[in-house]
Structure 1
Amino acid sequence: MDITICLAAIIAFSILMYIALDGFDLGIGILFPFFPGNDDRNRMMSSVAPVWDGNETWMVLGSAALYAVFPMVYSVVLPAIYVPLLVMVLCLILRGVAFEIRSKARRTRRLWDLAFIGGSTGATLCQGIVLGTWLFGIPIADGQFAGHAFDWFNPLSLFTGLALLVTYALLGCCWMIAKTDGDLQRRLYRIVLPLTALQVLTIVAVTLWTPLLAHMFATRWSDSSALTWLVPVPLLVVVCTWAMHDAVHARHNIAPFLLALGFVLLGYVGLLVSIWPYAILPGVTIWQAAAPRSSQTFTLVGALIIVPVILGYTILNYRLFRGTTNHEELHYH
């Protein structure tokens, strides 16, 4: 058994869970400006009040595991993304504070609404910039970062930041469709298909852009083993798009959110297949970046204990607070 691959899979799973779960509650903040009514915003925040802080557990798990298993990634990649990473953390803090204080504020509620919007949008944008910087490539010399503090400011990084805003907004919109009813739900249905169209366009744009970044991507996509995974992806994107169209017109509650998760999963699988087996692009593999085997073994034992626990209470939490959020049973007001 290759313990490095096992741990890389656990980290990849943690990141996917974070994107899927925290993505929709960040998306609610991104969509806040389109729903200015106080009652609408109360219902929107109430739909994630029982789960939003637990969703961020996956970020903590993935970050801790990454530090323990791939210390070279921290030492090389972090200097390249210090600025967007610091801004992301500050935005997440601002968003969390706004979430808690807004319900108690009266005269300053609009100010905390802006803080919630800014925190959600800023954190999402920075996460996308981090992804774009990593895809763009990190210059390395003698095992150290050899670039500049603002290398992250490039067209690809800015585009992936905007693309992630679309992804999270779609997740948030579809989540609220599943959790609300009445006039709010009807207005949400109106923006699902435009967001879906933007989502497909961003997937296509990133797919066409990445082979132009480095010969590595083009070579990987021509590999027969990679094609087995990659060929179905565009077909499944078309299927998800068509199914989303039908689900919206049939006014299904749960299907749009599941299909939005489908877009996330397809994009994520395509990304993983394209960059495998590199931990730092363009040329450091997961084995070259890995910690000593003793550290990996210790981390694996801990992960095998912690991951089922987090999965268990996550499933329990969502099960307890399933169903729609109506005016009479708000968890947040």
Structure 2
Amino acid sequence: MTPFVPPDWLPVIFAGLMALSILLYVVLDGFDLGVGILLPRVSVEADRDRMIAAIGPFWDANETWLVLGVGLLLVAFPSAHGVILTELYLPVAVMLAGLTLRGVAFEFRAKAADLRQKRRWDHAFVAGSLISALSQGWMLGRYVLGFADGWAATGFAAMAAIGLAIAYAFIGAAWLIWRTEGDLQRAAIGWARLAIWPMGIGILLVSAVTPLVSSRIFDRWFAFPEVLALAPLPIATAALLLGIGSLLRHMPLPGDALRRVPFWGAVALFSLFFAGLAWSFFPYVVPERLTIWQSASAPESLTLILAGAIFVLPVILAYTFLAWRIFGGKARDLTYY
């Protein structure tokens, strides 16, 4: 075991790596899932092609973060992995089916012989994107309530599913504002205007329910002096929502100024929301059942896995950065037919 990492810190490090992987997945794959959800709102074939081109260089690499996050859960917290997958077996299977359908549709769309076939694959791409988003939202709702049963829990999970799909549609629209121009960019501004306030309501709903499911979580947020230290989090979230909403009302601006701001504002919103959830549930990896220390693998195993993670994580970050660097700017016509 490396002397630089005390055994008690290893589960904390892996919890941080897993949380980072999930957050990056939600942000990065979120925008291309959102573009897929928005695809039916466009009837002009050139604009549909442009939407696909806007995510073409990124979508498959973005899913790497999901693989990394689930992989870390499996190898670092095996007992928690068993509990979570047992509770979420069906929505996980549905999500994987949706992601598979989306990937197949993306590839076959590019090889379609005629417009009719192309539209069929478009429908499959939309279905795969929507199924994936809804299943992820359902899993979020179930996790927040500690996998509780009953009609109220089912209703909350359904609302979380719809809310996450809307959030993905918002960040997808923000991505298109940045990466497209002309009529498609103006349409994306309209979609973002429609999605931002339902997304805000979803953030408020989950944030309000989370402290109510556990007295421990309630005390973490509202006990003094924690309530003062945590007050900037909801204030910053509300300020971001109001600021982005105000900016969208004035877009498009002359010279395409500030076109990046809605996307990075959405990234900040997702990050703040995720930070709130992380604060609520830490140190539990299974809500109110298993802490990261109770479910962690042996220190010797974690040390070995950490060595691999230290190598893999920079590689994934590097090729993600490289893809953004090479394929920066506005989306152009598809060229891989």
TM-score by length of 2: 0.90
Q: Distance in 2 between matches of 1:138 and 1:299?
A: 29
The answer on whether the counterparts of 2:211 and 2:280 sit within 8 Å (CA) in structure 1 is no
Please tell me whether residue 67 in structure 1 is matched to residue 74 in structure 2.
Answer: yes
> Which consecutive unaligned segments of at least 5 residues does structure 2 have?
1-5, 253-257
The answer on whether the counterparts of 1:133 and 1:157 sit within 8 Å (CA) in structure 2 is yes
Please tell me whether residue 130 in structure 1 is matched to residue 131 in structure 2.
Answer: no
- Matched length: 322
Identify the match of residue 77 of structure 1 among 72, 84, 95: 84
CA-CA distance at 1:331 after TM superposition: 4.6
Identity across matched positions, percent? 37
What letter is aligned with 1:204? L
The answer on whether the counterparts of 1:80 and 1:151 sit within 8 Å (CA) in structure 2 is no
Q: 1:226 to 1:310 in 2, by over 3 A?
A: farther
Q: 1:102 to 1:238 in 2, by over 3 A?
A: same
User: 2:260 aligns to what?
Assistant: 254
The answer on whether the counterparts of 1:133 and 1:152 sit within 8 Å (CA) in structure 2 is no
Please tell me whether residue 270 in structure 1 is matched to residue 279 in structure 2.
Answer: no
Q: 1:270 to 1:229 in 2, by over 3 A?
A: farther
CA-CA distance at 1:135 after TM superposition: 1.5
The answer on whether the counterparts of 1:237 and 1:263 sit within 8 Å (CA) in structure 2 is yes
CA-CA distance at 1:44 after TM superposition: 0.4
Identify the match of residue 288 of structure 2 among 272, 282, 288: 282
Q: Distance in 1 between matches of 2:79 and 2:226?
A: 26
Q: Distance in 1 between matches of 2:132 and 2:60?
A: 15
CA-CA distance at 1:151 after TM superposition: 9.6
CA-CA distance at 1:156 after TM superposition: 1.8
User: 2:125 aligns to what?
Assistant: 116
User: 2:13 aligns to what?
Assistant: 6
Q: Distance in 2 between matches of 1:232 and 1:80?
A: 34
User: 1:43 aligns to what?
Assistant: 50
CA-CA distance at 1:226 after TM superposition: 4.9
Please tell me whether residue 324 in structure 1 is matched to residue 327 in structure 2.
Answer: no
Q: Distance in 2 between matches of 1:230 and 1:97?
A: 44
SS at match of 1:84: helix
What letter is aligned with 1:175? W
Q: Distance in 2 between matches of 1:82 and 1:151?
A: 19
Q: 1:167 to 1:16 in 2, by over 3 A?
A: same
User: 1:86 aligns to what?
Assistant: 93
User: 2:26 aligns to what?
Assistant: 19
The answer on whether the counterparts of 1:125 and 1:162 sit within 8 Å (CA) in structure 2 is yes
Larger deviation, residues 58-67 vs 218-227:
218-227
Larger deviation, residues 91-100 vs 126-135:
126-135
Q: Distance in 1 between matches of 2:246 and 2:169?
A: 20
Q: Distance in 2 between matches of 1:67 and 1:228?
A: 36
> Which consecutive unaligned segments of at least 5 residues does structure 1 have?
140-146
Q: 1:286 to 1:131 in 2, by over 3 A?
A: same
CA-CA distance at 1:5 after TM superposition: 0.4
The answer on whether the counterparts of 2:80 and 2:290 sit within 8 Å (CA) in structure 1 is no
What letter is aligned with 1:163? G
The answer on whether the counterparts of 2:237 and 2:269 sit within 8 Å (CA) in structure 1 is yes
1:27-63 deviations in whole A, cap 9, x for unaligned?
0111112113221110000001111111111111111
Larger deviation, residues 315-324 vs 1-10:
1-10
Q: Distance in 2 between matches of 1:275 and 1:322?
A: 37
SS at match of 2:297: coil
1:96-147 deviations in whole A, cap 9, x for unaligned?
00000012112322211111111000011111111111111147xxxxxxx8
CA-CA distance at 1:250 after TM superposition: 4.4
CA-based RMSD of the aligned residues comes to 1.9
Larger deviation, residues 5-14 vs 186-195:
186-195
CA-CA distance at 1:152 after TM superposition: 11
1:155-181 deviations in whole A, cap 9, x for unaligned?
221111111101111110000111100
The answer on whether the counterparts of 1:181 and 1:326 sit within 8 Å (CA) in structure 2 is no
Q: Distance in 2 between matches of 1:86 and 1:152?
A: 23
Q: Distance in 2 between matches of 1:195 and 1:310?
A: 31
What letter is aligned with 2:295? A
Write the mapping of 1:173-322 to structure 2, written as runs, cut at 5 A: 173-224=173-224, 226-227=226-227, 230-248=230-248, 249-251=250-252, 252-322=258-328
